Amino acid sequence: MNICIVRKCKTNDAILLNFKRNGSVDQRLNIISRFGESVRYYRKQRHLTQEELALLCNFNQHYISNIERGTRNISLRVVSILARALGVRERDLL
């Protein structure tokens, strides 16, 4: 399966960046999705809503939603904040 990565430049023209075949792009998307699923799992285990978790982390509820859906690429700092709020180790989320 070929994956085409396209990014828009400032002039709104699409620029073809690269073609990958079952490579790092799939793995990157997979880890982001798995991370989001883990956040959702631990949040629900603790009977927290997205809004409650967001308040604990000082984030916006939409940000938590994007993380759980795997549409947000986050930093290690955010991983640490979420782990602390959920009472788990960082590696448990990964």
Render pLDDT for 12-46 as a digit per residue (tens, 0 to 9). Answer: 333 333 434 455 556 666 889 999 999 999 999 99
Better-scored residue on pLDDT, 79 or 16: 79
Please tell me the predicted confidence (pLDDT) of residue 21: 45
CA-CA-CA-CA torsion for 36, 41, 42, 48, nearest 10 degrees?
Answer: 100
Please tell me the predicted confidence (pLDDT) of residue 24: 55
Residues 6+ apart with CB under 8 A from 39: 64, 67, 68, 82, 86, 93
Please tell me the predicted confidence (pLDDT) of residue 70: 93
Please tell me the predicted confidence (pLDDT) of residue 29: 67
Q: CA–CA distance from 8 to each of 3, 15, 16, 51 (Å)?
A: 16, 6, 9, 32
User: Residue 90 — pLDDT band, cuts 50, 70, 90?
Assistant: very high
The structural domains of the chain, with segments of one domain joined by +, span 24-93
Task: Please name the fold of domain 24-93.
Answer: 434 Repressor (Amino-terminal Domain) (1.10.260)
Spatial CA neighbour of 65 closest among 75, 53, 78: 53
pLDDT tens column, 65-77: 999 999 988 999 9
